[in-house]
Amino acid sequence: MADIATRVYNHKWKIDPIVRSLIDTDFYKLLMCQSVFRNNPDARVTFSLINRSKDVRLADLIDEGELREQLDHIRSLSLSRGESTWLRGNTFYGKRQMFRPDFMEWFENLRLPPYELEKRDGQYELTFEGAWPEVMLWEIPALAVLMELRSRAVLETMGRFELQVLYARAMTKIWEKIERLRGVPSLRIADFGTRRRHSFLWQDWCVQAMREGLGQTFTGTSNCLIAMRREVEAIGTNAHELPMVYAALARDDAELAQAPYKVLADWHEEHDGNLRIILPDTFGTRGFLDHAPDWLASWTGIRIDSGDPAEGAETAIAWWKSRGEDPRQKLVIFSDGLDVDKILELHAQFAGRVKVSFGWGTLLTNDFRGLVPGDALAPFSLVCKAVSANGYPTVKLSDNPNKAMGPEDEIARYKRVFGVGAQTPLEVIV
């Protein structure tokens, strides 16, 4: 196990690349990339950095030259032989050869495309434009670089012993959370913390702590590189990116209304009926479920990633019942802004009514709240989203209007098409 404090201290003396592998990314990005490679390889998509926490002025904290150096290093990366062998030969979700030979041949020859970087009003404007399968793989490493450079900027004035104490306190904080989760019957929890982690080494430490502290309760990590190195399950299915881009490519309102279901039809075909988890909130959960084709009711479960999580689970249970399905045989995955109190609350409320699982993200891998003066390491809400496809803007409505994105006129159009009524704004924690 690495001495994290010493490694952080030594960042002052030499270049230390933040992202050292193309599989230092979330598993669902690779699953989605294969689907995009098959179904929409020629779509031209633009991704853009969006800092929802405007008070965190990244361009004032992070040196532009250092940021470019880290991004340029990522562009030099390619799959190693060991990484390729793991992806080609490992069993994921009980399926061997999850990744097809044609996709793997393409991925093995991939170098990430160029980026554009500018400063404006204390923030970085970072964009990636190109073929969808290529630019989509920038999202996670770009976020990881910015999050860790912010951490380094805050920590750079600390001495060796000060850093040792800081990380000891942070480790104690995480371990106390793990102890509260120990022994909870039927609890299932995975690490979903790659995109807004404090650092790679810290995420790796958190995974090891979860594995030792929780045993079989810990189901795996979304991070492919850590999953490979630590021999744990790689966890993930799909994300909002797919329906956002499919919808932007729709030619009219009728095609727009069907876009979220076209995504899942392609997904079903891609994975031969595996990985059947619905993410329904991109354009509003209620409207999605009300108009969903009957074949979706037979899918394994639903991931709840915005809005009131208990309300979302109740909506899913009611929908399954209305379609003649037994909710007790279905899986609900909670993944939005989780910490221990909310995990325990939701588990107590829904265990036995459905199968319950949790994707624990930022407040697992980046909870340094209260540990440095001014709370300068508190997590903040940074995302990198697809903002256009073939020149048309993307939209995300979410079940929380504070997470909505896109031009106002397009947001209004999507609300009309998907029948989204009044929504309750909720604080975006991370």
Looking at residue 428, what is its pLDDT? 75
* pLDDT, position 12: 57
Mean pLDDT of the region 206-219 = 97
* Other residues' Cβ atoms within 10 Å of the Cβ of residue 359: 22
Supply the pLDDT for residue 133.
98
Rounded to an integer, what distance in angstroms lies between the CA atom of residue 391 and that of residue 360?
Answer: 35
What span, in angstroms and rounded, lies between the C-alpha atoms of 246 and 396? 12
pLDDT at 4 over 60: yes
pLDDT mean over 9-19 = 74
Name which of 230-234, 239-243, 269-273, 367-371 the model is least confident about.
269-273
The H-or-E segment that residue 163 falls in is: helix 160-181
Please tell me the distance from the alpha carbon of residue 126 to that of residue 119, in angstroms, as a whole number: 9
Q: Which of 277, 354, 267 is CA-nearest to residue 310?
A: 354
Binned at pLDDT 50, 70 and 90, residue 65 comes out as: very high
Q: Are 220 and 232 in contact (CB under 8 A)?
A: yes
pLDDT in tens, 265-301: 999 988 876 789 999 999 999 999 999 999 999 999 9
* Average pLDDT value for residue range 260-266: 97
pLDDT at 351: 96
Q: b or e along 302-319 (b: 16 or more beta carbons within 10 Å of the residue's beta carbon)? A: bbbbbbebeebbebbbeb
Given a cut of 90, is residue 421 above it in pLDDT? no
Structural element, H or E, at residue 139: helix 139-155
> Is 213's pLDDT higher than 70?
yes
Residue 8: what pLDDT? 81
The single residue listed with the structure tokens 């109190």 is 341
> Mean pLDDT over all residues of the chain?
95
3-class secondary-structure state, position 342? helix
Q: Determine the Cα–Cα distance for residues 424 and 403; give it in Å rounded to an integer.
A: 11
Per-residue pLDDT, 14: 56
Res 155: pLDDT: 94
Tokens encoding 188: 């299932």
Domains and CATH numbers, the chain: 4-418 (3.20.140.10)
Instruction: Kindly state the percentage of the chain with pLDDT values over 70.
Output: 98
Residue 11 is predicted with a pLDDT of 66
**Is the per-residue pLDDT at 229 higher than 90?**
yes
Nearest CA to 151 out of 325, 264, 7 is that of 7
- For 392, the 3-state DSSP assignment is strand
- At 331-349, the pLDDT tens digits run 999 999 999 999 999 999 9
Mean pLDDT of 205-231: 97
pLDDT tens string 41-59: 999 999 999 999 999 999 9
For the entire predicted model, the pTM comes to 0.95
pLDDT for position 24 = 98
Q: What is the pLDDT of residue 235?
A: 96
Taking 80 as the threshold, does the pLDDT of residue 30 lie above it? yes
